[in-house]
Amino acid sequence: MGSDINRAYESVAVEIKDRVAQVTLIGPGKGNAMGPAFWSEMPEVFAELDTNREVRAVVITGSGKDFSYGLDVPAMGGKFVPLLTDGALARPRTDFHAEVLRMQKAINAVADCRTPTIAAVHGWCIGGALDLISAVDIRYASADAKFSMREVKLAIVADMGSLARLPLILSDGHLRELALTGKDIDATRAEKIGLVNDVYDNADKTLAAAHATAAEIAANPPLAVYGVKDVLYQQRTSAISESLRYVAAWNAAFLPSKDLTEGISATFAKRAPQFIGE
């Protein structure tokens, strides 16, 4: 496709051609799930893209059949263990709070990027992947795309940005329905409620549309483009930052529960969870 970025990453592949960068989620978890490498690498990836004057737009997509399954629970589940042992005293809660804030930086790096970002979504877009696309400027989907804010089904309050950013994208009723039920929605519904701009027949056409829009943006004067993003960003940054800090503190304080243990156990066992509200 063109030149690669200066180094290879474990969680994404980055290619640059004609002033457009393509960031492709590659795992290594199943379905491009977001494991430790993703949360560590994304701030560096987008910091480098943001300072590269040859890059005027960024397209984010997923490899294989899906955009991303979201959080790699098998790889990241250990982050919850200290909360479920030792009575969840102050130290594990404090450490978990710091870990949430650290992970939020991966999605914040996308949202804070001065260069316009476009998501081309196909297949599944679950949990953390929905957090990711909520941080971009423009979203396109293929007809087979499916979206889910599934954290509630794990007894988790979504804390990587969807609850902070989607209120600026969706109406309140639609957002509450997705967040409180954890239901899956298809591309048609996603377009209807404004989650995505347009829907295309397949993944290839979706990616092509994203690159076409990226090329249009790249042809515009970059300083004016940066200015548009900066003005829009300033209108909402305080509310988003406050929401992210609040949910990190909320989860550190209230996340430990029998329901969390059950949610994680049920996920590993591939069975329906039985929540008891404790």
pLDDT of residue 77: 72
* Residue 83, pLDDT score: 64
The DSSP bridge pattern shows strands 184-186 and 146-148 to be antiparallel
Is residue 95 predicted with pLDDT exceeding 80?
yes
User: Would you state the pLDDT for residue 1?
Assistant: 45
Q: Return the bridge partners of 25, or none.
A: 12, 62
pLDDT for 236? 86
pLDDT at 193 exceeding the cut of 60: yes
- Tell me: pLDDT of 3 over 70: no
Nearest 5°: CA angle at 152, between 45 and 261?
A: 95
Question: What are 211-261's pLDDT values in tens digits?
Answer: 999 999 999 999 999 999 999 988 888 899 999 999 999 998 888 888 988
The pLDDT tens digits for 108-136 are: 999 999 999 999 999 999 999 999 999 99
Nearest to 109 by CA among 156, 51, 151: 51
Per-residue pLDDT averaged across 17-36, rounded? 95
More confident residue, 96 or 228: 228
Per-residue pLDDT band for 5 (boundaries 50, 70, 90) equals low
Query: Which listed CATH number (3.40.1160.10, 3.90.226.10, 1.10.3720.10, 3.30.70.330) goes with 3-202+221-269?
Result: 3.90.226.10
For all residues of the chain together, what is the average pLDDT?
Answer: 93
- Evaluate if residue 147 carries a pLDDT over 50: yes
Residues 6+ apart with CB under 8 A from 163: 157, 179, 243, 247
- Give the separation between CA 34 and CA 128, rounded to whole angstroms: 7
Task: Work out the angle at residue 277's Cα, subtended by the Cα atoms of residues 250 and 179, and round it to the nearest 5 degrees.
Answer: 55
For the chain, the structural domain boundaries read: 3-202+221-269
